[in-house]
Structure 1
């Protein structure tokens, strides 16, 4: 029985740690869900979600769930996300159909919190699971991640090179692994595989968010439909940008 019980216990501990790491994202999505049930108010829902996101950030900081360094990283993720949204909404990739006073070029300011939540997850997981990078190439990985982020903008005017960049990301992260703790045990996972797993769960979160009207793709405007599977690949690439930002602030790497 011990052979069966021990792995199950480890899986439950891992699930608990992941849930704690996702606390900001879960709270944000819960707020979105509750906002759909609220009666009509004189303040736009998108504006209320901005206030809610700011309050969440404050609560997490005051409770010690986020450090000052975490909040700084999350703020950068928010800014990067807003820049991303401005370009994508301008090109009709998706839209925010509801009105809001705090909107810039069709993008409500709360939109950046969706990326901030990803930053919060990486920061909290790094701390709670004692992440350590093995054979990590910081400059090469950061350069490719920056090119991936830029391509999400430039492919509207230039050829889309996401697949060559994905191959290049695989090259620069080859042999790189993430060590993490689950209870007293240490495990290891290839870095690229972790990007793919996170990309999948971000795709699930995106389905929930679009269902709640956080934003909508053109094919969802008349009736909600699941987000296309190709977004898993997009998120798997985009998470590299957040990871590089967090790694730059707290990297514990073994160069051997």
Structure 2
């Protein structure tokens, strides 16, 4: 009975942490079946997601610091989207006023939703880490991963080498999380893969609802290749590095103030 109670509490906190991602996919679905008057679909999605973020902040589901993190990820994601669309990796074929270099501004929120989930679950499950490698090694690795998303169009793709480095750099790192009064732990690299897998599932849902299209989906929707899981695995690592480092900085400042 205790294990069921723990599972229910864990599921509740996971569900609450997914409010913004669920809002995104709900909006993608509804905007695909319901025509919104006076607005292009991409513009309407942006307006709705901005409203959701405002309501989450006003209702204290998200803190001011979490909003700042989400803004950072929105910019990082938007820059990557602009580059990838320019290189023909995928496209946003529908019209819209809020498009920048062919990319709708709402697209950055899809990356920011990962940050929203991580900030929420970190706070709700009172997460911590042991064996964190520090800013130098984690920051350099995160930068190399992000750079590889751009450079692999011109030079060899180093994602598998980078994946190997992830296993080396984070092999001592464990996530500590708490459900009620019980403490659990998990290898960080396993958490990377789990979150990356679920983002891949979400990506299939998003492309099914025409949030964007890969070149092989223009004639009809088909499953996103399993190889994309590795891309999301690496992207999750960047997200965790940024969020974790910000948490460490904030904790150090709080301790110093005390």
Q: TM-score, normalised by structure 2?
A: 0.93
Equivalent in the alignment of 1:18: 14
Deviations 1:204-231 (A, max 9, x none): 1111111111111111111111111111
SS across alignment from 2:82 = helix
Q: Is the 8 A contact 2:81 2:107 kept in 1?
A: yes
| 1:7 CA displacement | 2.2
Equivalent in the alignment of 1:205: 202
Residues in 1 aligned to 2:49 and 2:127: alpha-carbon distance in whole angstroms: 27
Pick from 165, 170, 185 the counterpart of residue 162 of structure 2: 165
Q: Count residues in correspondence.
A: 249
Deviations 1:110-157 (A, max 9, x none): 110101111100000100000101010122122111110110001111
Equivalent in the alignment of 2:177: 180
1:240 aligns with 2:237: yes
List alignment gaps of at least 5 residues for structure 1.
Answer: none
5 Å-filtered alignment, 1:81-92, equals 81-92=77-88
RMSD value over aligned CA atoms?
A: 1.3
Deviations 1:160-214 (A, max 9, x none): 1111111001100011000001121110000110000000000011111111111
Q: Is the 8 A contact 1:122 1:243 kept in 2?
A: yes
Name the stretch that deviates more: 36-45 or 124-133: 36-45
| 1:40 CA displacement | 5.5
Deviations 1:65-117 (A, max 9, x none): 11111000000000000000011111111111111111112101111010111
List alignment gaps of at least 5 residues for structure 2.
Answer: 253-258
Q: Is the 8 A contact 2:36 2:44 kept in 1?
A: no
Residues in 1 aligned to 2:45 and 2:67: alpha-carbon distance in whole angstroms: 18
